[in-house]
Amino acid sequence: MERPNFVYPVEFLPRNQLAILRLLNALEDAFVGAYLGALPLIANKDILKAGGRSSATRPLTAPRCGLPASF
């Protein structure tokens, strides 16, 4: 199988620290939401316990870009 070649348009990349922090918070929100949506399907208790740490960076990054530190 041939390895895919990804080319990201430069105009869509974050250009400053604030834009990067906003992107990180948006991604974290999406990832936490996906995890929470999957909770009923997860049988492994160790994985369920680890989910409590899934939004550990939001309190550090969100206030820097004018967002609430928690959901």
**Domain with 53 in it:** 14-65
The structural domain count of the chain equals 1
For residue 51, what pLDDT is reported? Answer: 63
Indicate whether 41 belongs to any domain.
yes
| Residue 60, in any domain of the structure | yes
Alpha-carbon distance of 55 to 29, in angstroms, equals: 8
Which residue's entry shows tokens 């990054």?
61
Q: What is the pLDDT of residue 68?
A: 77
Q: CA 24, CA 41: separation in Å to the nearest integer?
A: 26
pLDDT digit string (tens) for 16-60? 988 888 888 888 888 888 877 888 888 888 877 776 555 667 778
**Residue 71 has what pLDDT?**
58
Q: What is the DSSP string of 4-16?
A: P-----GGGS--S
Alpha-carbon distance of 51 to 64, in angstroms, equals 24
- Distance, in Å, from the CA atom of 71 to the CA atom of 69, rounded to the nearest integer, reads 7
Does residue 4 fall inside a structural domain?
no
User: Higher pLDDT residue, 70 or 26?
Assistant: 26
Average pLDDT in the 6-25 region?
Answer: 85
- pLDDT score of 29: 82
